[in-house]
Amino acid sequence: MPLLRIVDSVTELGPHDAGCIAVTGSHGGVSSARFAQAARPLLCVFNDAGVGREAAGVAGLALLQAQGIAACAVLHSSARIGDAHSTLNDGIIGHANALAASLGVQAGQRCAAAVATVQNPSQETE
């Protein structure tokens, strides 16, 4: 089972976190994605930060897809930005790259359920 890392900022991840499930309070923009890219988690969860102009708040999901990393973002209206525990406990998935979807992460799913699905792919979750 992959290690679960709950960090308010993606900058707290490092090479020792490779293969983990990282739940962050960070926005899903390109600058955040670069930190996730360096750490190489199995899945990285962000906040969509309102998506923003030209979808900047989730632009990192495509960057991570290209690097072979599953990534998704919760809706900013469902969880506090900068608070990873809120991401996990309150967040609703709003965006997922194809790799995250292949792990069972779906828009509309509670973040905690998505994490449970990735941790235990053979078990059904809500």
Tens digits of residue pLDDT in 83-107: 999 999 999 999 999 999 999 999 9
Tens digits of residue pLDDT in 38-49: 999 999 999 999
List the one residue out of 20, 57, 65 whose CA is nearest residue 40. 20
**Residue 44 maps to a domain:** yes
Domain range enclosing 40: 4-119
**Residue 70 maps to a domain:** yes
Residue with tokens 């359920």: 113
Q: State how far the Cα of 95 lies from the Cα of 107, in Å rounded to an integer.
A: 6
**Which sign does the torsion angle of CA 126, 13, 43, 74 carry?**
positive
Q: State how far the Cα of 9 lies from the Cα of 69, in Å rounded to an integer.
A: 18
> Whole-model pTM?
0.95
Q: State how far the Cα of 65 lies from the Cα of 83, in Å rounded to an integer.
A: 24
pLDDT of residue 123: 64
Range 50-69 burial, b when 16+ CB lie within 10 A, else e: ebeeeebbbbbbbbbbeeeb
The total number of structural domains in the chain stands at 1
**Average of per-residue pLDDT across 9-30:** 98
**Residue 80 maps to a domain:** yes
pLDDT of residue 124: 53
Q: State how far the Cα of 51 lies from the Cα of 81, in Å rounded to an integer.
A: 12
**Residue 41 maps to a domain:** yes
**Residue 121's pLDDT band (boundaries 50, 70, 90)?**
confident
**Residue 93 maps to a domain:** yes
Q: State how far the Cα of 92 lies from the Cα of 74, in Å rounded to an integer.
A: 5
Residue with tokens 């941790």: 119
pLDDT of residue 49: 97
Look up residue 3 and give its DSSP letter.
Answer: P
